[in-house]
Structure 1
Amino acid sequence: MTGKCPFSLEEEFEKFSSYSMTPDEAHDLIERARTECPVPYSRELGGFHVFMNYEDVRNGLLDFQTYASGPSVLRPYSEDMPVFPPSSFDPPEHGPWRKIFTGGVNVRTPGRIEPLVRADTIELIESFVEKGECDLHLDLAELIPMKAIFHVLGLEPELHDTLRKMNVELLAAVGEPEKFMELWVPFAEFGWKAVEKKKADPQDDYLSVLADADIDGRPLTPEEVGACVISLLTAGHGTTTAALTNLFYEVLRRPELKQRLIDNPEDIPLAVDEGLRLHHPFLGLYRMATKDVEVHGKTIKKGESVYMAWEAANRDPAVTENPLDFNIDRSGFQSLAWGLGKHSCVGRMTALMEQRVVMEELLARVPDIELTAPEKVKWDFHGAETQGFLELPARFTARPRRDS
């Protein structure tokens, strides 16, 4: 492969971004360009190169010395916008921030909150079983991850709706720096007040970790607390919501696969992994070159942005057979769904648990569930590089509600 693009592809890629295309359009362009145009350039969002093939993305994620996460993993970037830890920090600053996150989200977290996630899932499913229909995105996938984060945070129940609304509005404004900052101030204040309460009554939760946290011996500022809260919400809510909806879409339109998971729930984690490979909640995230570097004959200059297209990498036919098929028995493939190296996802085990629990309870409680009109739903981008469905209607045999 060489860095020189055919003119037609080069011209198409000049308009490439999650703010100017649909996911289907982006993937179509990527698949046509893999071999002929391996490192294309977009003029959108200040300009950026695109890594789309598996080895390029993998190497880029591991090489933080060449491809820095700072000043931000999102575009457009404004110096006035807050920096979100730990994803937008590089070593050595990255280490202390990641330690704060792993203090609140770690290997113990899934076990601590799984009973709560299961109870929430049962309550939501039972709330619509009498109707014989539901929207799996709005009635389940959008709610469970947010409730799970509230459990991780240790947020008081009466504040859940407020934080949910603020989070949705803030993420929708990522592409508009001025509006984002207008919404950011009250969000940071909200997070600070919640942390201040924990100082007087600490618990086994993330807000208590933030209340006791320090950077270089000083306590966190209100802005830093707000950034830590939004980082957790961004990483754990929209991503898991999209992953769940995508999983429902793939499983429920395959009756044989659905029955296999009903009969063998131990296979559900395989479906979760394959869903994340094929339909990642992020098309990709950004890095910045720290020096001039040549990739496939193309020079990327110091200070230029590089888009690491994770999902496209996971669909690379050079590393996995029939990559556009949904195959839960796929083997011998290391997915990039959780990132690699210094910035691998700290909440991986918690997100996997959430998806497993929701699918277990859904198939056990409404085993005849099917999608109402799968041909009418479509993927779309929703800000901050996230992608997924905004609706997924389903139907099933109505039955009386039960509480256990």
Structure 2
Amino acid sequence: MDRFLTPEALAPFRERFRRVAAGLVASLPRGVAVDAVSQVGVRFAVRAQSAWLGWPADLEDRLVDWVAENHAATRSGDRSWTQRVAESFDDLIRSVLEPRRGAAHEDGADDVTARLMRTEVNGRPLTDAEIVSVLRNWTGGDLGSIAHCIGVLAHHLATHPAVQDHLRSGVPDAEIDAIIDEILRIDDPFVSNRRVTTCPVTIGGAELPQGARVKLNWTSANRDEAVFGDPDAMDPERNADRNLVYGIGRHACPGRLLATLEMRIAMQELLAATSSIALDSQRPAERAVSPVGGWALVPIVLT
């Protein structure tokens, strides 16, 4: 599936993402508080992902509602609720796939979803279950992640006007990407993952047997004073090769290029269309509750 996520494969979507971001930013009110998570992050994530996959715009509200319920279920720790939410997303995906198998889509549609449906692995087409699984991982994982990342980025910009000014001055895409990565290292919204050891291992003086369940706290690791010194000090160049926002090794996020492209464009359009991004003085930002990271609410005022 990596071929869908290469720089070459993503290049045609840059202008589509830019139109999505520009349209959203233009619709936001000026001089009053807007929530950078729900009104900016979630809406942009849903619209950008739909543009990438070729999904209909009328799914937007369903996807937005699903993101909210998924976060609530995750916070609750109720596995039965989480399972129901996951199943409802699979149903949503099937509702997108089914019409594409009918006469209305026998016209050679060539969006990402259509190409995925035509993909063969080891000489055979993907099964329905495999297609749903891929789309679930691409979409279910990306929507909430991008929304929370944009919340973190907006909060950082609002509390660091000098960074806003620097980015507005016109900097190369590579530098913007590095700054985005570093902001997310400082305030990593991806809290943790679980793993199982495949052999006996010693980590930090602790001996773990094969089959031990391990919780990796990425947020803590990205703020390790032994590695980064002052974890709040921004140094994109120095910290890049130790940044764990997107994981490491075989479990590194395959959608990193897509996520970075979306976030870069969202930040560029937000900064280009404003002279100031500030926190709302009347309502404080609210942290998300573990196991969700980042911010649940970031009221900002755009001027």
Does the TM-score normalized on the shorter chain lie above 0.5?
yes
Note if 1:206 corresponds to 2:112.
yes
Note if 1:291 corresponds to 2:199.
yes
Q: Which residue of 2 aligns with 1:340?
A: 248
Note if 1:373 corresponds to 2:249.
no
State the Cα deviation string for residues 101-140 of structure 1 (Å, max 9, x = none). Answer: x243332344222212211211122112455442222221
State the Cα deviation string for residues 54-96 of structure 1 (Å, max 9, x = none). Answer: xxxxxxxxxxxxxxxxxxxxxxxxxxxxxxxxxxxxxxxxxxx
- Please state whether the residue corresponding to 2:46 is helix, strand or coil: helix
User: TM-score, normalised on structure 1?
Assistant: 0.65
* Identical-pair percentage: 24
Q: Which residue of 2 aligns with 1:145?
A: 45
Cα deviation for residue 375 of structure 1 reads: 8.6
Q: Cα 1:142–1:289, aligned 2, differ >3 Å: closer, same or farther?
A: same
Ranges in structure 2 where 5+ consecutive residues have no aligned partner: none
**Aligned residue type for 1:158:** D
**Aligned residue type for 2:145:** T
**Aligned residue type for 2:16:** L
Q: Which residue of 2 aligns with 1:323?
A: 231
Among candidates 84, 108, 114, match of residue 182 of structure 1: 84
8 A contact 1:339–1:345 mirrored in 2 = yes
Q: Which residue of 2 aligns with 1:247?
A: 153
8 A contact 2:246–2:252 mirrored in 1 = yes
Ranges in structure 1 where 5+ consecutive residues have no aligned partner: 1-99, 398-404
Equivalents in 1 of 2:219, 2:70: separation in Å? 24
Among candidates 1, 11, 23, match of residue 123 of structure 1: 23
Q: Which residue of 2 aligns with 1:160?
A: 60
State the Cα deviation string for residues 189-232 of structure 1 (Å, max 9, x = none). Answer: 33234224345345443322331235555544444333322211
Q: Which residue of 2 aligns with 1:195?
A: 97
Equivalents in 1 of 2:297, 2:156: separation in Å? 14
Cα deviation for residue 392 of structure 1 reads: 1.4
Q: Cα 1:160–1:219, aligned 2, differ >3 Å: closer, same or farther?
A: farther
Q: Which residue of 1 aligns with 2:298?
A: 392
Q: Which residue of 1 aligns with 2:188?
A: 280
8 A contact 1:380–1:389 mirrored in 2 = yes
8 A contact 1:369–1:396 mirrored in 2 = yes
Equivalents in 1 of 2:19, 2:89: separation in Å? 28
Q: CA RMSD in A?
A: 2.6
- Please state whether the residue corresponding to 1:376 is helix, strand or coil: coil
8 A contact 2:7–2:257 mirrored in 1 = yes
Cα deviation for residue 183 of structure 1 reads: 3.6
* Greater Rg over alpha carbons, structure: 1
Q: Cα 1:265–1:374, aligned 2, differ >3 Å: closer, same or farther?
A: farther
Q: Which residue of 2 aligns with 1:304?
A: 212
How many correspondences in the alignment? 294
- Please state whether the residue corresponding to 1:294 is helix, strand or coil: strand
Equivalents in 1 of 2:67, 2:39: separation in Å? 18
Cα deviation for residue 290 of structure 1 reads: 2.0
Cα deviation for residue 288 of structure 1 reads: 0.7
8 A contact 2:67–2:144 mirrored in 1 = no
Per mean C-alpha deviation after superposition, the further-off stretch among 228-237 and 170-179 is 170-179
Cα deviation for residue 324 of structure 1 reads: 2.5
8 A contact 1:243–1:279 mirrored in 2 = no
- Please state whether the residue corresponding to 1:299 is helix, strand or coil: strand
Equivalents in 2 of 1:270, 1:154: separation in Å? 29
Equivalents in 1 of 2:154, 2:67: separation in Å? 24
Q: Which residue of 1 aligns with 2:34?
A: 134
Equivalents in 1 of 2:51, 2:126: separation in Å? 22
User: TM-score, normalised on structure 2?
Assistant: 0.85
Q: Which residue of 2 aligns with 1:264?
A: 170
State the Cα deviation string for residues 298-324 of structure 1 (Å, max 9, x = none). Answer: 232222211122222221222223112
Matching of residues 19-98 of structure 1 within 5 Å: none
